[in-house]
């Protein structure tokens, strides 16, 4: 252990102080995810039904996990994650294939969309974001992004929806309410995904967030190169300054490319997609991509598991209002819940 000697005493470095909490967070991660599931469910649209479905959905997830483990001899995560993500759109596909339910999808005329006119309140190709947003919107986005970064153990989807609804409820007028909510949700999405990948990796080296357990899992555990038990990944290979430097480089490059294109061509791209690309094609693309990634993780078992989760998850989302954020947190806390309640 590296320490600094000052006046006859050993003072631990910040990294070593964080390492002391790794065992605690690792042992308490299931409880943290469970409490997060209850909290996000309580503030969701389907409040009480979301809370009521926590245990049944956790039981469903755990039994699927045990069944797939017997076949592929490893616990799957990406297939579960993708199944929950595509649930609502896969549910719509199932409705379109059902002769009894298809009638609810039939429309006599094309659906109308009302897009705001192209209003550019800035000059040049790279607008100043502090001039595009009002002072109130900038403050709301900054505060909510900071808060959501601290709750790195929560679902980014759930935090995005929660913060967007809170900010939207504090603004009057359709335009101010929608623009403030969208600005906040974009800020929260970016900050939460970055925080949920960087904080566990930098501080502990073990996956302690939904992002770390899902999309960022290879950064923590990709044998034989990276492992999280014992910890042998970027947590050991990079210093905090390395994380800051490379993270800053990535943010600068992403901002230089994505931000100006989004600000200058967002409406044009939206109109093009809505006029020339059918919704069915977009849904099919996402479902096909999910199946491809699930197949890469566990071949046919992964695909079947993802579609099974998508079927139930989509039903819970569309019919009962159990949001994807709640389902993600239930998935991450399912092992703890079933072990605590059933001992298995």
Q: What is the pLDDT of residues 217-262, one digit of tens each?
A: 888 888 888 888 788 888 888 888 888 898 889 888 988 888 888 8
Q: How far apart are CA 103 and CA 83, in angstroms?
A: 26
Beta bridge partners of 4: 11
Half-sphere exposure of 67 (CA within 13 A, CB side): 11
**Count, residues in the chain:** 344
pLDDT for the residue 4: 47
pLDDT for the residue 102: 74
Tell me the range of 100-109, 135-144, 272-281 where mean pLDDT is highest.
135-144
The average pLDDT across 309-320 equals: 92
Q: How far apart are CA 55 and CA 36, in angstroms?
A: 14
Peptide bond into 230 cis (omega under 30): yes
Average pLDDT over the chain reads 83
Per-residue 3-state assignment (H helix, E strand, C coil) for 100-162 = CCHHHHCCCCCCCCCCCCCCCCCCCCCCCHHHHCCHHHHHHHHHHHHHHHHCCCCCHHHHHHH
Inter-axis angle of helices 156-169 and 135-150, nearest 10: 150
**What residues contact 314, with CB distance under 8 A and at least 6 apart?**
86, 87, 88, 89, 90, 91, 92, 94
pLDDT for the residue 12: 56
Identify the band that residue 24 occupies on the pLDDT scale cut at 50, 70 and 90. low
pLDDT for the residue 7: 46
- Residue 13 pLDDT exceeds 60: no
The average pLDDT across 208-219 equals: 81
Identify the band that residue 306 occupies on the pLDDT scale cut at 50, 70 and 90. very high
Q: How confident is the model over 29-87, as pLDDT tens digits?
A: 788 888 888 888 887 778 899 999 999 999 999 999 999 999 998 888 889 989 998 99
Identify the band that residue 17 occupies on the pLDDT scale cut at 50, 70 and 90. low
Q: How confident is the model over 159-178, as pLDDT tens digits?
A: 887 888 788 878 777 778 88
pLDDT for the residue 2: 47
Following DSSP, what letter does each residue of 177-192 receive, concatenated?
HHHHHHHHHHHHHHHH
Q: How far apart are CA 212 and CA 154, in angstroms?
A: 11
pLDDT for the residue 52: 93
Q: How far apart are CA 261 and CA 55, in angstroms?
A: 44
Please give the share of the chain, as a percent, with pLDDT higher than 70.
91
Q: How far apart are CA 37 and CA 158, in angstroms?
A: 9
Phi, psi of 323 (to 5 degrees): -65, 165
Query: What is the C-alpha end-to-end distance of the chain, expressed in Å?
Result: 37
Q: What is the pTM of this model?
A: 0.76
Q: What 3-state DSSP class applies to 198? A: helix
């Amino acid at each position: 252990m590296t320490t600094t000697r000052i006046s006859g005493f050993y003072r631990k470095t910040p990294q070593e102080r964080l390492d002391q909490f790794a065992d605690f967070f690792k042992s308490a991660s299931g409880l943290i995810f469970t409490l997060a599931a209850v909290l996000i469910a309580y503030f969701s649209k389907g409040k009480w039904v979301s809370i009521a479905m926590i245990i049944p959905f956790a039981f469903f997830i755990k039994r699927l996990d045990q069944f797939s483990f017997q076949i592929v001899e490893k616990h799957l995560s990406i297939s579960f994650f993708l199944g929950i993500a595509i649930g609502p759109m896969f549910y719509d596909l199932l409705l379109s294939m059902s002769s009894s339910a298809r009638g609810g999808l039939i429309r006599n005329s094309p659906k109308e969309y009302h897009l705001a006119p192209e209003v550019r309140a800035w000059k040049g190709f790279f607008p100043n974001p502090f001039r595009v947003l009002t002072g109130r919107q900038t403050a709301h986005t900054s505060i909510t992004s900071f808060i959501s970064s601290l709750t790195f153990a929560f679902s980014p989807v759930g935090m995005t929806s929660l913060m967007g609804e809170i900010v939207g409820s504090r603004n009057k007028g359709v335009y101010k309410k929608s623009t403030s909510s969208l600005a906040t949700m974009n800020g929260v999405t970016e900050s939460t995904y970055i925080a949920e990948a960087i904080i566990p990796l930098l501080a502990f080296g073990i996956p302690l967030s939904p992002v770390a357990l899902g999309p960022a899992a290879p950064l923590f555990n990709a044998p034989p190169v990276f492992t999280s038990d014992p910890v042998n990944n970027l947590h050991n290979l990079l210093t905090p300054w390395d994380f800051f430097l490379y993270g800053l480089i990535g943010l600068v490059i992403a901002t230089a490319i994505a931000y100006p294109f989004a600000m200058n061509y967002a409406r044009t791209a939206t109109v093009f997609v809505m006029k020339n690309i059918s919704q069915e094609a977009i849904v099919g693309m996402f479902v096909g991509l999910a199946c491809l990634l699930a197949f890469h993780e566990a071949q046919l078992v992964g695909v079947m598991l993802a579609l099974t989760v998508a079927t139930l998850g989509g039903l819970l989302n569309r019919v009962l209002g159990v949001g994807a954020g709640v389902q993600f947190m239930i998935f991450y806390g399912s092992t703890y819940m079933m072990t605590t309640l059933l001992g298995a």
